Structure 1
């Protein structure tokens, strides 16, 4: 039984993380924390997230009141802003904890990315170099030995799971850059009220073309250039991605199926579609990434979908936790 802290438990992804870990057979949530300025300090978890009424009896505490010396803590989950995680990760690592960080603070090696895309200077280059990128289906060996697992971004997870098998098998035409159109629900913007994620304001609109923070993350870890066009949709949760690529000559539909099967046949949270294409409905409140595709004239359109709060955040974090400690990979997730 591992003792766990969860910081940032009042947010949407944080709440899903609390739910997963609360029902985990090999984990015990010692405390849940929010920032020192949060209005949720002192409230019960179920008073903020009503769907867990009479299920989860935990109270939010201020992280400023926490003294690690007095705690027997094995694992810390950080469902926090990148600025907060940037400063907290060194503290928890130095205290002997295994850390799973859901922010972007330790996802990419190039420190310049943090200056250009996140507007802060990364101060912990040595820790950054040792961070393991937690794309669970592709980094199992590294995760098993990690002290710090940086859980990928929601868009980056969906895109990489769809593209990486084809990149690994080198069947994409190198002269054509994959074009990625991805649509996310408004929960991706977080729980804090904002005019940009109000359902009265949201239509269906692209944003941050060429400048979205997940673009360099995708490029660094996928190893190829891409054009990433994110959209905000007027729905609560989920991501659906369509990726257009050109294949090398003589690549058939069966070849692509076989490639996906080769890499994902033993991966329980990846579902490959043959007769249909994925949709938001197939993944909403589910921990899967669903992948389908269609081919015509050497062009392939891959469709991938996931719940941004689950496979794009909390479910993948718990999946990494299970891999790290040798538990069944889907423990508490399925």
Structure 2
């Protein structure tokens, strides 16, 4: 822990991507911590603001140093590295005294077979799977506060899970859940690919990784944990179709659920409001208006709305719509939220700015 009267010192390993950029933006303005070190194998010795043009003079340059050295003398280390890279660092991370928050998918899953299937190969250190607390505060706030290692959730996973957690905790998710979710181009990373190049994406809508996106087992695991917390046997499966959308930021997810016929609109409303009572960043719109991306852009807000339909073939039809910024609540901002909890700081400190409009 930091010395009395001093701010906790923070390091970012892998600071040149979009996740690293958002971490820099949030942590430089955070009143409770000091961003002390940012590493990268690119743009070495260049000022942060030379790469992230939105930043003012920071006094920091990108450094190319080993992770163990980057973690020396700091209180929290953020890993903003690509999937499969963080996994290779597991033995080093186990030895550092700093708290670690990983933004990749390498430590989110507990099942090594699911990791191998959805991430395209065996985990190099499967003994560390399950050793990180899953960093979704709406489900694991107390565990995060005590954790030394946190795996911050994926953007699709956060969006879809926040829309469905109350139903899972009530034991109302049965059989496959069908979700279609559209995401902005920043979710594809800072380096252009043929499928994310702006002239193509800006005029296009398409699905990708249908029924095989890597966040699928993460969502199923999270909803299963919510079932268990509510004392219900987990029987959740997800049929997930992601959509590439022509916008830079944001995710909009629509999940289709069948409920027992006696679960009416009033019961749905009650379940959501009871589950999210006191949640710092979840706004429940209910049936009054629909969640939309423009209302959450650049912010930590996760908006959730729902449409309760008729009883068809003995099942109540429900559509849950959830929206958030994939780089903030779905990425760096949620990781900072976990950091606040781990350091005993107010949960919303430094991340409660209003959304950008329009």
- With normalisation by structure 2, the TM-score equals 0.88
CA distance in 1, matches of 2:162, 2:107: 20
Residues 203-250 of structure 1 show CA distances to partners (whole Å, capped at 9, x for unaligned) of 110111111111111112212101100010111010000111111121
Instruction: Tell me how many residue pairs correspond in the alignment.
Output: 327
CA distance in 1, matches of 2:218, 2:191: 24
Segments of structure 2 that go 5 or more residues without pairing to the other structure are: 1-6, 225-235, 311-315, 353-358
CA distance in 2, matches of 1:143, 1:64: 26
Q: Which residue of 1 aligns with 2:313?
A: none
After superposition, the CA RMSD in angstroms is: 1.6
CA contact 1:171–1:251 (8 Å) conserved in 2: no
Q: Which residue of 1 aligns with 2:14?
A: 8
Q: Which residue of 2 aligns with 1:256?
A: 268
Task: Name the one with the larger helix percent.
Answer: 1
CA distance in 2, matches of 1:65, 1:241: 36
Q: Which residue of 1 aligns with 2:281?
A: 269
Match of 2:320 among 279, 302, 315: 302
Q: Which residue of 1 aligns with 2:69?
A: 67
Segments of structure 1 that go 5 or more residues without pairing to the other structure are: none
CA contact 2:39–2:70 (8 Å) conserved in 1: no
Match of 1:314 among 311, 324, 332: 332
CA contact 1:104–1:152 (8 Å) conserved in 2: yes
Which segment drifts farther, 182-191 or 125-134?
Answer: 125-134
1:96–1:66 CA distance, 2 compared to 1 (3 A): closer
1:294–1:65 CA distance, 2 compared to 1 (3 A): closer
Q: Which residue of 2 aligns with 1:34?
A: 40
Runs of 4+ in 1 over 3 A off after TM superposition: 63-66
Q: Which residue of 1 aligns with 2:232?
A: none
CA distance in 1, matches of 2:59, 2:25: 11
Which segment drifts farther, 289-298 or 21-30?
Answer: 21-30
Query: Once the 2 structures are TM-superposed, how far is the Cα of residue 98 of structure 1 from its aligned partner?
Result: 0.7
1:170 aligns with 2:161: no
Alignment of 1:173-184 (within 5 A): 174=174, 176-184=175-183
CA distance in 2, matches of 1:253, 1:66: 53
Query: Once the 2 structures are TM-superposed, how far is the Cα of residue 109 of structure 1 from its aligned partner?
Result: 0.7
Query: Once the 2 structures are TM-superposed, how far is the Cα of residue 257 of structure 1 from its aligned partner?
Result: 1.3
- With normalisation by structure 1, the TM-score equals 0.94
Query: Once the 2 structures are TM-superposed, how far is the Cα of residue 77 of structure 1 from its aligned partner?
Result: 0.1
Alignment of 1:91-102 (within 5 A): 91-102=92-103
Q: What is the SS of the residue equivalent to 1:138?
A: helix
